[in-house]
Amino acid sequence: MRTQVAIIGGGPSGLLLSQLLHRAGIDSVVLERKTRDYVLSRIRAGVLEQGFVGLMRQAGVAERMDRESFIHDGTLIANGNEQFRVDFVKHTGKPVVVYGQTEVTRDLYDARAASDGKIVFNAEAVEIHGADSDAPYLTYSVDGSEQRLECDFVAGCDGFHGVSRQSIPANVRRDYEKVYPFGWLGILSETPPADDELIYSKSERGFALCSMRNANLSRYYVQCSLSDSVENWSDAAFWDELRRRIPEAVAEKLITGPSIEKSIAPLRSFVTEPMRWGRLFLCGDAAHIVPPTGAKGLNTAASDIHYLFQGLKAQYHDTEAEGLDLYSERALLRIWKAERFSWWMTNLLHRFPDQPEFDLKMQQAEINFLRDNDAAQKVMAENYVGLPF
């Protein structure tokens, strides 16, 4: 089998790239290790920057998102019992859109199916060959049958544990990483959200986040130890701890219920450089990870897709190679800014083990400065709604 662009990974970034390429008349094949149902069962965040929203519209898959999503004009920052609002529209003229990543992925799968897009599920043992040559190809197996996919370019959208990043030689690649000394315990519940907007809450007991998927589906998180386990947390224990970490006025009106999903996620900041090797291009989690504070994970993947799609379109339509040649440089310039923002929010709102009193005072001063200073709120708003591509 042959295609122009081979895409490894059938998550939202790989599917979005495939759909954009299709609308530009460029052929692609997506290889996904799991089934469609498995991919759609994964619970992920759903705060979309304006850049991501624009790409969904460009890809022709925004109809349901525009109809069913929630528009958030700002967010709340809580510090103990005090809270204040950062108004995104006031400071940037733009809101963010709340629409679950699962729904984004579902819309993209439906669009690819409607266009007879080629997606190979259960593609195992994927290997990249000749990425540094003019004739790259992939090998993989489906149900024990060995397959070969020849292509012009390879897009590695296969996540942190995928084969794409590991295919770049160690003497070419440099990794940068910061592992945080805590995780997030999160639950999903069929309950109304605590507020119309997200609440980021700092407390002496640690960080908490009140977020949502829709009017009757809420997502809540509390900071926890990396050594913790979900088995240690009953639903009642989680709700009690969440109430202790959010302002009393919010806790009093919190509607609780049985969890339908519960998990613990570690936090890390990670970037690999470069994001291109020969004809292999890394996108999304294959190249970088951000802590979830600030809602940048899916959005950083979208910025990669923007730069790669523009480069591929210029290559095929105009035989112009500059976009692909500069892909890694352009993508990394924006990625490091997103990494900085996520790192800043994480350090601002979390309680670190054995944190010195001086650092606690600095956190308090930083939150007070953000509360009282319009310029500081503008900077936060600009980063939260998404820096331009």
H or E element at residue 364? helix 357-372
According to the model, what pLDDT value does residue 214 have? Answer: 82
Catalytic residue at 316?
A: no
Return the sign of the alpha-carbon dihedral for residues 234, 225, 300, 163.
negative
Q: Which listed residue (180, 200, 220, 221) is catalytic?
A: 200
- The answer to the question of residue 248 being in a domain is no
According to the model, what pLDDT value does residue 341 have? Answer: 98
- The answer to the question of residue 210 being in a domain is no
Q: Whose structure tokens read 């600095």?
A: 362
If we measure between CA atoms, which residue out of 100, 109, 136 comes closest to residue 30? 109
Q: Which listed residue (22, 72, 91, 288) is catalytic?
A: 72
Q: How far apart (Å, rounded) are the C-alpha atoms in residues 238 and 230?
A: 10
Residues paired with 141 in a beta bridge: 124, 146
Catalytic residue at 384?
A: yes
According to the model, what pLDDT value does residue 292 have? Answer: 94
Q: Which listed residue (296, 306, 313, 350) is catalytic?
A: 296
Catalytic residue at 306?
A: no
- The answer to the question of residue 286 being in a domain is yes
If we measure between CA atoms, which residue out of 376, 365, 364 comes closest to residue 203? 364
According to the model, what pLDDT value does residue 43 have? Answer: 66
Residues paired with 96 in a beta bridge: 72
- The answer to the question of residue 336 being in a domain is yes
For the chain, how many residues are written?
389
Catalytic residue at 200?
A: yes
CATH code of residue 314: 3.50.50.60
pTM, two decimal places: 0.95
- The answer to the question of residue 213 being in a domain is no
The number of folded domains in the chain is: 1
- The answer to the question of residue 75 being in a domain is no
- The answer to the question of residue 297 being in a domain is yes
Q: Domain containing 145: what range?
A: 5-47+100-177+268-345
If we measure between CA atoms, which residue out of 284, 307, 282, 281 comes closest to residue 297? 284
Report the Cα–Cα distance between both ends of the chain, in Å, rounded.
34
- The answer to the question of residue 197 being in a domain is no
Catalytic residue at 292?
A: yes
H or E element at residue 18? helix 12-23
Residues of the chain with pLDDT under 70: 43
Task: Say if CB 283 and CB 17 are below 8 A apart.
Answer: yes
Q: Are strands 28-31 and 5-8 parallel, antiparallel or unpaired?
A: parallel
Q: Which listed residue (12, 22, 292, 306) is catalytic?
A: 292
Strand ranges across the sheet with 70-72: 47-48, 96-98, 70-72
| 186-219 CB burial, b ≥16 within 10 A, e <16 | bbbbebbbbbebbbbbbbeebbbbbbbbbeeebb
